[in-house]
Amino acid sequence: MDATNNVACADRPTIMITNDDGIHSPGLQALVRTLASTDRYRLWICAPDSDNSSVSHSVTVRRAVSAMPTEISGATAYAISGTPSDCISLGTSKALFPSVPDLVLSGINKGSNCGLHIVYSGTVAGARQAFIHGIPSVAISYEWIEGTSNINDFTLAAEACLPMISAIFVEIKNKTYPKECFLNVNLPTDILNHKGFMLTKQGNSIMEAGWKQVSSGSQTMTMQPSSVSINPDAKAVSQEPLLFKLELKGGQVENGGTDFGPLLEGYITVTPLGALTNADTDSHKFFNQWLPGVASSAV
């Protein structure tokens, strides 16, 4: 976006957009196009330069992170050589952009982020990072199903989110938007015929996974001297590592108002989240009784 357009947008609320699928992913591109078409927001993009799915809330600390200016119509954009958390941490620091955004959107992710999957999600981490910095934020994911979904569904998903985004800005302007949470939004596969918004709680659903041993194929992997233990009694028993690949086998569905069940029923689920998950009351009661006896029971 040129300087003239930046000046024209200066009096509009600013939305910063990130994701974990990468800056060129169709979900992010559809969200930017849809928001730009409203001509109501100044758009800043600070997103990973490559796929960072399932990196959770990891941050880059052992190397410098690059920010490459990237041409995306309707926005000022940078491709970042880091994680979604890095993107928002950098993007909201005033080191890259001149001010702090009014709202951060993370998505639209290809695949839902419900239940325990939010622990792994880079999309949710991007919104969580903004929340940690005191900035209203929303993680947005679309329940993509291979063979059923198509690229145009991301645009429909973005359009379905517009009323919510507009309503959030009303609350921000009135200084009534809650500061104790951020939102995790999931859109159903049949987004064109969605049943509306439903407030839900995070459930415990998680994809069943397993590990399968695979061959190295054409890859030759050898143990480097730097990776060998300095313990003189330790001996390497093999120069070839065992290779394993993670396999996703199926999902678990929950009912009772948690996030994944209503999503499968066709609702756009809206789940308020905090930065941390506290243990349940019964666990606190147990450890309250257990902890005083720990020292006396030590042998």
What would the pLDDT profile of 194-226 be if each residue is shown by its tens digit? Answer: 999 999 998 888 777 788 889 875 444 333 444
Cβ atoms of 130 and 137 within 8 Å: the answer is: yes
What would the pLDDT profile of 160-188 be if each residue is shown by its tens digit? Answer: 999 999 999 999 999 999 999 999 999 99
If one counts every other C-beta atom within 10 angstroms of the C-beta of residue 189, the result is 18
Nearest in space to 219 (alpha carbons), one of 245, 247, 246, 241: 241
Query: What does the pLDDT read at residue 31?
Result: 98
Query: Rounded to two decimals, what is the model's pTM?
Result: 0.84
Q: Give the length of the chain.
A: 299
- Give me the sign of the Cα torsion angle 153, 55, 60, 131: positive
Instruction: Please state which architecture CATH assigns to domain 14-203+253-273.
Output: 3-Layer(aba) Sandwich (3.40)
Residue with tokens 């309250």: 288
Q: How far apart are CA 282 and CA 288, in angstroms?
A: 10
pLDDT category of residue 4 using cuts at 50, 70 and 90:
very low
What would the pLDDT profile of 85-115 be if each residue is shown by its tens digit? Answer: 999 999 999 999 999 999 999 999 999 999 9
